[in-house]
Amino acid sequence: MTRRLALLGAGLIGREHAALVAAHPGAELVGIADTSPAAREHASALGVPFCADYASMLDQVRPDGAIVALPNHLHVPAGLACVERGIPCLVEKPVAESVEAAQRLVAASERRGVPVLVGHHRRHSPDISEARRIVRDGLLGDLVAVNGMCWFDKPDAYFEAEWRRGEGGGPLLINLIHDVDTLRFICGEIDSVCAFTANAVRGFPVEDTAGLAIRFESGVLGTFSVSDAVASPWSWEFTSAQALYFPHQPGAYLFFGGRTGSLSVSDMYLWRHADTGGHWQDPLIREHRPLDRSRAYVNQLEHFLAVIAGTATPAITARDGMLTLAATLAVAASARDHRTVSVREIAAP
């Protein structure tokens, strides 16, 4: 059965969603809502009905599902417009611009029983799913530590948009939020964080680099570093071959250390001693863990179609997305206030 989908916001990522829907045999794009002339032209080129007002578009086309790819502050109003009409929606990350706003969408979705799937696409990526399985199945023994980085170099033109130079427009809320979600997904809830940020490279009000220490509720400790001013291949975007507009540079960006073994992601090498009882003077054996060849964004769309059909519940609900947002905001608060911040403090203001 073909599901009729509407797209709210046909900018950078919205157009990618439109292309994914067009390529999927089980989905049809039946409407685009956007305020820009460029999006109107794009809708016309695709032969899809266009409307500047998303609420009117939802009423006119009554889609089976909607993809919300609007600026962050419109995620909650647009998500609510969908939920009020009983339309399941895929809301791009972050679920909201603040925890308070996210709570409104969580409440509406749960009260009305209308599913909201948050667009943390890595949850649908084979490397992340396999890493979760390896860690949770105990193949590394008890998890002790995790370490990772997200380093890439954004071009100067990226910062022409003023909002990217101010608070909320930097790598914490644009990029690190995906890694925070990945870490929560694999290692469980984050208890607290302690972070430093720097803006020395570009000198904008927003950070260009951050370093953080993480304590998970399980007691596992982690460290992570993010920068959009480093020329490097060490990010999920480069190493996974899953991201939409990045070259593939095989390698690793995330490392899980357990009592009896370690895992690097996305190259998926599992390191263990040949014999039980091995220690730091004994060699380790490297095993490559193969991945299925599925692709994160296609998997995400397929999952959304299953949510619409009622055969799956969202892999990441509005509530779950709110917790990822809260943990990321805790990083920002820690760097700003020069103190350790608990996620609970941010999640339940």
Ligand X SMILES: NC(=O)c1ccc[n+]([C@@H]2O[C@H](COP(=O)([O-])OP(=O)(O)OC[C@H]3O[C@@H](n4cnc5c(N)ncnc54)[C@H](O)[C@@H]3O)[C@@H](O)[C@H]2O)c1
* Chain residues that interact with ligand X, rule: CB under 6 A: 9-14, 33-36, 39, 54, 69-72, 74, 92-93, 119, 121
CB-nearer residue toward ligand X: 7 or 270: 7
Residue 262 C-beta-side C-alpha neighbours within 13 Å: 15
Least Å distance, CB 126 to ligand X, is 16
Q: Kindly provide the b/e burial profile for residues 224-255, where b requires at least 16 CB atoms within 10 angstroms of the residue's own CB.
A: bbbbbbbeebbbbbbbbbbbeebeeeeebbbb
CB-nearer residue toward ligand X: 173 or 323: 173
Contact 65, 119 (CB under 8 A): no
**168 is written with which tokens?**
């909320």
CB-nearer residue toward ligand X: 176 or 263: 176
- DSSP string spanning 180-239? HHHHHHHH--EEEEEEEEE-TTT--SS-SEEEEEEEETTS-EEEEEEESB---S-SHHHH
Beta strands in 71-153 (DSSP E): 89-91, 116-118, 143-151
Tokens 């208890």 correspond to 191
Least Å distance, CB 39 to ligand X, is 5
Q: List 7's β-bridge partners, or say none.
A: 32, 67
CB-nearer residue toward ligand X: 220 or 322: 322
Contact 107, 317 (CB under 8 A): no
CB-nearer residue toward ligand X: 34 or 179: 34
| Residue 132 CB-density burial (10 A; 0-12 exposed, 13-18 middle, 19+ buried) | middle
Q: List 216's β-bridge partners, or say none.
A: 190
Least Å distance, CB 340 to ligand X, is 27
Least Å distance, CB 72 to ligand X, is 5
CB-nearer residue toward ligand X: 169 or 257: 169
Question: Which residue of the chain is nearest ligand X when measured via CB?
Answer: 11
**138 is written with which tokens?**
């105990």
CB-nearer residue toward ligand X: 54 or 185: 54
Least Å distance, CB 276 to ligand X, is 42
Least Å distance, CB 136 to ligand X, is 24
Query: In this structure, are strands 190-198 and 221-227 parallel, antiparallel, or unpaired?
Result: unpaired
Which strand ranges, in their side-by-side order, compose the sheet holding 261-265? Answer: 284-288, 269-273, 261-265, 254-258, 143-151, 221-227, 209-216, 190-198, 341-342
CB-nearer residue toward ligand X: 34 or 320: 34
Least Å distance, CB 34 to ligand X, is 4
Least Å distance, CB 314 to ligand X, is 15
